[in-house]
Every structure is written in C-alpha cells, then in structure tokens.
Amino acid sequence: MISGSISNKGGVCPALTCTVGSTPVVTDSTTEFKNAGCSALANNVRVEVKGTKRSIGSVLATRVEKKD
C-alpha cells in the first residue's frame, strides 16, 4: 500500500499516470476509485493506493482511495 499526495498526473480516465510519494502509479479500466471518481483526482490530492508492483518499478493500481 502507498499513501501520499498525487504529483505529475497525466493521462485520461481511466488510464492515468501519476506519482504518489516517490512511486510511479498507473490506473486502468479495472482500477476501483473510492471516495472520488477518477476525474476528481488531481495533483496535491492525498490518496491511498493498493496494487501490484510491476517489473518496471511502477504500481498498477487495483484501488485508489481519496483521503481527507
């Protein structure tokens, strides 16, 4: 699990790329978004990410939860 603020957000929902803390994160059509839809995610928004680390170092998110 990764927690932190989003930075370097790119892409178009549901296929986003961003950095959370120092970890590159990608989302896809199977990612579950909780407490906010995909389009509500932006730089400086705090999130908690669950997913699978890929061999290239990024995490493919299975769930992204917006935090207060």
| CATH number among 2.120.10, 3.90.1200, 3.30.70, 2.40.50, domain 2-66 | 2.40.50
What residue has token string 């699978």? Answer: 52
Q: What is the pLDDT of residues 31-40, one digit of tens each?
A: 999 999 999 9
| Average pLDDT of the segment spanning 17-21 | 97
Q: Taking all residues of the chain, what is their mean pLDDT, rounded to a whole number?
A: 97
Q: Which of 17, 47, 15 is nearest to 29 (CA)?
A: 15
Q: Is the pLDDT of residue 68 over 90?
A: no
Percent pLDDT > 70 in the chain is 100
* pLDDT (0 to 100) of residue 18: 98
Q: Which of 3, 46, 11 is nearest to 27 (CA)?
A: 11
SS3 23: strand
| Average pLDDT of the segment spanning 44-49 | 98
Amino acid found at 55:
S
Sorted by where each begins, the domain ranges of the chain are: 2-66
